């Protein structure tokens, strides 16, 4: 009888140990799945952050490019204005000296008009660039 009681007690202990082991295995797989999920989330967050940084860098480059274009247009406009002033001065000097023929005067006026048209176009382009910025 004692042997029977000891044997049943031994069996109960064995069964409870195996049950605990199985539950630990099940919980281990759950924690592995949770860990995998956490790793995926971290990777997704890192990718999103990298993508955001890349986008910011691209925007900064675009802004720098626009600033350079604006500076270039302003320089071009300044150059055109100087050329117009130079042509006007040459025209006035020629008129004062009387060394220009009516045809030469017309050529100077045409050049000045063309430069002014070009200046107007450059100003429009500059306005568009500033709007983009």
Q: How far apart are CA 129 and CA 133, in angstroms?
A: 6
Q: pLDDT band for position 35 (50/70/90)?
A: confident
pTM, rounded to two decimals:
0.62
Of 25-34, 44-53, 102-111, the one with minimum mean pLDDT is 25-34
Say if residue 27's pLDDT is above 60.
no
* Pick from 93, 88, 76: nearest CA to 112: 88
**Three-state secondary structure readout of the chain:** CHHHHHHHHHHHHHHHHHHHHHHHHHHHHHHHHHHHHHHHHHHHHHHHHHHHHHHHHHHHHHHHHHHHHHHHHHHHHHHHHHHHHHHHHHHHHHHHHCCCCHHHHHHHHHHHHHHHHHHHHHHHHHHHHHHHC
What was the pLDDT predicted at 29? 62
Spell out the domain ranges in the chain.
29-132
């Amino acid at each position: 009888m004692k042997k029977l009681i000891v044997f049943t007690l031994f069996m109960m202990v064995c069964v409870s140990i195996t049950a605990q082991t199985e539950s630990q295995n099940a919980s281990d797989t759950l924690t592995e799945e949770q860990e995998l999920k956490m790793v995926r989330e971290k990777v997704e967050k890192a990718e999103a952050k990298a993508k955001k940084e890349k986008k910011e860098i691209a925007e900064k480059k675009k802004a720098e490019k626009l600033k350079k274009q604006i500076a270039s247009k302003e320089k071009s406009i300044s150059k055109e204005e100087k050329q117009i002033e130079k042509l006007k001065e040459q025209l006035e000097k020629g008129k004062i000296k009387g060394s220009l023929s009516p045809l030469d005067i017309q050529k100077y006026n045409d050049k000045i008009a063309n430069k002014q048209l070009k200046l107007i176009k450059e100003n429009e382009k500059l306005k568009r660039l500033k709007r983009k910025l």
